Amino acid sequence: MPENSIDSLLRESRLFPPSNDFAATSVASPELYERAAADRLGFWAETARELLHWHKPFTETLDWSNAPFARWFGDGELNVAYNCLDRHVEAGNGDRVAIHWEGEPGDSRTLTYAELTTEVKRAANALTALGIGQGDRVAIYLPLIPEAVIAMLAVARLGAVHSVVFGGFSAESLSSRIHDASAKLVITADGGWRRGKVFPLKPAVDAALGMLAASGAESTVSTVLVVKRGENDVEWTEGRDLWWHDELAKADPEHEAKAFNAENPLFILYTSGTTGKPKGILHTSGGYLTQAAFTHQNVFDVHPETDVYWCTADVGWVTGHSYVTYGPLANGATQVLYEGTPDTPHPGRWWEIIQKYKVSILYTAPTAIRSFMKVGREVPDAFDLSSLRVLGSVGEPINPEAWIWYRDVIGAGSTPIVDTWWQTETGAIMISALPGITTLKPGSAQVPIPGVKVDVLGEDGAPVTPPSGGALVISEPWPAMLRGIWGDPDRYVATYWAKYSTPQKSIYFAGDGARIDEDGDIWLLGRVDDVIKVSGHRLSTTEIESALVSHPIVAEAAVVGADDKTTGQAVVAFVILRAGKAEGQSTEETTTALAKQVTEKIGAIARPRQIFIVAELPKTRSGKIMRRLLRDVAEGREIGDTTTLADSSVMSLISEKFHAASGTE
Ligand code: WTA
**CATH number of the domain where residue 68 is located:** 3.40.50.12780
Residue 397 Cα, ligand 1 centroid: separation in angstroms? 8
Instruction: Please identify, among 527, 551, 569, the residue that sits at the C-terminal boundary of a domain.
Output: 527
Q: Give residue 3's pLDDT.
A: 45
Residues 77 and 102 occupy one common structural domain: yes
Contacts 24+ apart (CB under 8 A), 34-43: 35/450, 36/450, 36/451, 37/450, 40/451, 40/453, 40/476, 43/450, 43/451
Distance CA 18, CA 414 (A): 9
Residues 322 and 344 occupy one common structural domain: yes
The residue whose C-alpha atom lies closest to atom 6 belonging to ligand 1 is 423
The residue whose C-alpha atom lies closest to atom 24 belonging to ligand 1 is 423
Residues 147 and 245 occupy one common structural domain: yes
Q: Give residue 661's pLDDT.
A: 67
Residues 415 and 471 occupy one common structural domain: no
Q: Which helix (H) or strand (E) holds 656?
A: helix 649-662
Convert the pLDDT of each residue in 372-385 to its tens digit: 999 999 999 999 99
Decide: 36 and 45 in contact? Cβ < 8 Å: no
Residue 281 Cα, ligand 1 centroid: separation in angstroms? 15
DSSP 546: H
- Is residue 445 one of the residues assigned to a domain? no
The residue whose C-alpha atom lies closest to atom 7 belonging to ligand 1 is 396
Instruction: Please identify, among 504, 527, 550, the residue that sits at the C-terminal boundary of a domain.
Output: 527
* Best of 391, 399, 533 for a ligand 1 pocket test (most atoms within 8 Å of beta carbon): 533
Alpha helices in 3-39 (DSSP H): 5-11, 20-25, 31-38
Convert the pLDDT of each residue in 246-275 to its tens digit: 999 999 999 999 999 999 999 999 998 776
The atom number, within ligand 1, closest to the CA of 423 reads 22
Contacts 24+ apart (CB under 8 A), 550-555: 550/597, 550/601, 551/593, 551/594, 551/597, 552/578, 552/581, 553/577, 553/578, 553/581, 553/582, 553/590, 553/593, 553/594, 554/578, 554/594, 555/579
For residue 137, which of 117, 123, 116, 156 has the smallest C-alpha distance? 156
Residue 174 Cα, ligand 1 centroid: separation in angstroms? 23
* Best of 522, 524, 543 for a ligand 1 pocket test (most atoms within 8 Å of beta carbon): 524
Residue 429 Cα, ligand 1 centroid: separation in angstroms? 10
* DSSP annotation string for 146-165: HHHHHHHHHHHHTT-EEEE-
- Is residue 640 one of the residues assigned to a domain? yes
* DSSP annotation string for 223-274: EEEEE--S-------TTTEEEHHHHHHHS-S--PPPPEETTSEEEEEEE--S
The residue whose C-alpha atom lies closest to atom 20 belonging to ligand 1 is 538
Q: Give residue 2's pLDDT.
A: 45
Q: Give residue 10's pLDDT.
A: 72
Q: What is the 3-state secondary structure (H, E, C) of 38-58?
A: HCHHHHHHHHHHHHCCCCECC
The atom number, within ligand 1, closest to the CA of 393 reads 15
Q: What is the 3-state secondary structure (H, E, C) of 368-421?
A: HHHHHHHHCCHHHHCCCCCCCCEEEEECCCCCHHHHHHHHHHHCCCCCCEEEEE
C-alpha distances in angstroms, 276 versus 483, 544, 549?
A: 21, 8, 12
Domain range enclosing 502 = 454-527
Strands 260-261 and 265-271, by their bridges, are: unpaired
Q: What is the 3-state secondary structure (H, E, C) of 86-144?
A: HHHHHHHHCCCEEEEEECCCCCEEEEEHHHHHHHHHHHHHHHHHCCCCCCCEEEEECCC
The atom number, within ligand 1, closest to the CA of 524 reads 3
C-alpha distances in angstroms, 160 versus 218, 355, 528, 657?
A: 21, 38, 35, 53
Distance CA 159, CA 145 (A): 23
The atom number, within ligand 1, closest to the CA of 425 reads 18
Residue 394 Cα, ligand 1 centroid: separation in angstroms? 7
Distance CA 326, CA 316 (A): 13
- Is residue 521 one of the residues assigned to a domain? yes
Q: Give residue 662's pLDDT.
A: 65
Residues 208 and 252 occupy one common structural domain: yes
Residues 86 and 113 occupy one common structural domain: yes
The residue whose C-alpha atom lies closest to atom 14 belonging to ligand 1 is 396
Decide: 164 and 148 in contact? Cβ < 8 Å: yes
DSSP 476: S
Distance CA 3, CA 307 (A): 37
Instruction: Please identify, among 480, 497, 527, the residue that sits at the C-terminal boundary of a domain.
Output: 527
The atom number, within ligand 1, closest to the CA of 526 reads 19
* Best of 296, 512, 569 for a ligand 1 pocket test (most atoms within 8 Å of beta carbon): 512
Cβ atoms within 10 Å, residue 256: 10
Distance CA 285, CA 135 (A): 12
Residues 203 and 298 occupy one common structural domain: yes
Q: Ligand 1 pocket: which residues have CB below 6 Å?
A: 271, 317-319, 394-397, 419-424, 445, 510-512, 524, 527, 533, 538
Residue 496 Cα, ligand 1 centroid: separation in angstroms? 15
Decide: 26 and 435 in contact? Cβ < 8 Å: yes
The atom number, within ligand 1, closest to the CA of 420 reads 15
Let me know if 638 is exposed, middle or buried by CB neighbors in 10 A (0-12, 13-18, 19+): exposed
Residue 537 Cα, ligand 1 centroid: separation in angstroms? 9
Cβ atoms within 10 Å, residue 536: 20
Residues 523 and 537 occupy one common structural domain: no
* Best of 423, 482, 495, 567 for a ligand 1 pocket test (most atoms within 8 Å of beta carbon): 423
The residue whose C-alpha atom lies closest to atom 23 belonging to ligand 1 is 395
The atom number, within ligand 1, closest to the CA of 510 reads 21
Residues 535 and 522 occupy one common structural domain: no
The residue whose C-alpha atom lies closest to atom 25 belonging to ligand 1 is 423
CATH of the domain at 643: 3.30.300.30
DSSP 605: G
The residue whose C-alpha atom lies closest to atom 5 belonging to ligand 1 is 423
- Is residue 443 one of the residues assigned to a domain? no
CATH of the domain at 475: 2.30.38.10
Residue 501 Cα, ligand 1 centroid: separation in angstroms? 22
Q: Give residue 663's pLDDT.
A: 56
* Best of 279, 419, 422, 539 for a ligand 1 pocket test (most atoms within 8 Å of beta carbon): 422
Decide: 111 and 79 in contact? Cβ < 8 Å: no
Domain tally, the chain: 3
Residues 535 and 581 occupy one common structural domain: yes
Residue 288 Cα, ligand 1 centroid: separation in angstroms? 18
Cα atoms found within 13 Å of the Cα of residue 217, Cβ hemisphere only: 19
Convert the pLDDT of each residue in 501-551 to its tens digit: 999 999 999 999 999 999 999 999 988 888 999 998 999 998 899 999 999
Tell me the average confidence (pLDDT) per consecutive run of 10 residues in the chain, 665 residues long.
58 91 94 98 98 98 98 98 98 98 98 98 98 98 98 99 97 96 98 97 98 91 98 98 98 98 98 82 98 98 98 98 98 98 97 98 96 96 98 95 97 97 98 97 97 96 94 98 97 96 96 95 91 91 92 94 92 92 86 96 94 89 84 83 73 75 56
Residues 322 and 280 occupy one common structural domain: yes
Distance CA 661, CA 649 (A): 19
Residues 250 and 331 occupy one common structural domain: yes
Q: Give residue 645's pLDDT.
A: 73
- Is residue 1 one of the residues assigned to a domain? no
The residue whose C-alpha atom lies closest to atom 13 belonging to ligand 1 is 397
The residue whose C-alpha atom lies closest to atom 10 belonging to ligand 1 is 423
The residue whose C-alpha atom lies closest to atom 1 belonging to ligand 1 is 396
Residue 540 Cα, ligand 1 centroid: separation in angstroms? 13
- Is residue 335 one of the residues assigned to a domain? yes
- Is residue 39 one of the residues assigned to a domain? yes
- Is residue 240 one of the residues assigned to a domain? yes
